[in-house]
Amino acid sequence: MSPSLSSGEILRERYVVREQIGQGGTGNIYLADDVRLQGRLCALKEVEHNQALPPEVFAQAREQFFREASVLARLDHPNLPKVSDFFSEGPRDYLVMDYVPGKDLRQMMQDARRNNTFLSEAEVLRWAKQIADALDYLHHQDPPIVHRDIKPSNIKITPSGLVKLVDFGLVKIMAPGEVTITVIQGQGTALYTPLEQYGGDDTHTDAKADIFSFGATLYHLLTNEPPAEARKRFLNSRSLTPPIDINPRLSRHVEKAVLWAMSLHPDDRPADVNAFREALFGYVDAPIQLQVDRYGFEVPRFSAFSVEQIAGYVAFGLFLMGLIATVIR
């Protein structure tokens, strides 16, 4: 996506653009100076709507942006960047957030890979605790907030070691009973996206989508290998390599917790972030069994299913097959 703003451009007579520093699920991200607060750097998160939207849908999309931005501006958590302003300029909307210095986890993972080593499990778990704290805070808002784009490049480590979960580009406010318009184009990053998030139908997305993406992110951080996409796993259950096969130093309970979070069916994932955190740190046992199949490697396997679970899987499978067929046309 080419930059829509150039260096030196001023927005709202306040924000002076320095440079483009990233690209999110909805548009570019810029580093800017806040001229009203001398010395303050901020990040401008651009939200570019689909230009093909009918005027009435575009108006609804913009209304939803302002509604969601006002919710984000009220958030206050040490592991989340503070949203300080939001506005529109022409066809684009902007969120103004604290600029978070430091490396993101994708960069740190690449550094480890270049050194032919893995990020240490202890260090990844320290980060995971802070990520879990941020997600637990978001999911317990009223209404709950789902991030929907958790991945290594959206998690930054400040020079002081504080984790920041950034890029609210695909965030969803879970207003009960509300028909949600798809304001943001895209469904997250494929490697970390659960099946139910494909197709742009928000009615099937809840906090368990973040748990899947969180688990997939940890899989990548602990193995230096990207996880198989959920669509591929749905068609071939053996396409996901067990983490310990890649990184033999991993603890068994960590592997089980990560695979539990990455379960394809939402009902098979942890009930909430706290349940996942407890399994990740070994306080409880993840309800997933690993067994060696005839090919010689371990695959996740759950205990026997009830009739209701089997019926649910069949219905969910039929829905996903139709969804996948639509996506790959």
112 and 56 together in one domain? no
Q: Are residues 73 and 194 in the same domain?
A: no
Tokens of 261: 């979070």
Does some domain include residue 178?
Answer: yes
How confident is the model over 24-34, as a mean pLDDT? 86
Q: pLDDT tens for residues 153-195?
A: 999 999 999 999 987 655 665 544 433 333 333 445 889 999 9
User: What does the alpha-carbon distance between residue 275 and residue 188 come to, in Å, rounded to a whole number?
Assistant: 24
Residue 78 lies in a domain: yes
Among residues 79, 98, 117, the one where a domain terminates is 98
**Is the confidence at residue 90, as pLDDT, over 70?**
yes
Task: Find out whether the peptide bond into 227 is cis, omega within 30 degrees of 0.
Answer: no
Q: Residue 40 belongs to a domain with what CATH number?
A: 3.30.200.20
Our answer to whether residue 85 is catalytic in this structure is: no
> The tokens 């592997």 sit on which residue?
255
| Domain containing residue 267 | 103-327
pTM of the prediction? 0.82
Query: 76 and 111: one domain?
Result: no
Active-site residue identified among 33, 133, 149, 210:
149
Render pLDDT for 230-287 as a digit per residue (tens, 0 to 9): 999 999 989 999 999 999 999 999 999 999 999 999 999 999 999 999 999 999 999 9
Same-domain status, 82 and 213: no
Tell me how many domains the chain contains: 2
Residues 215 and 126 in one domain: yes
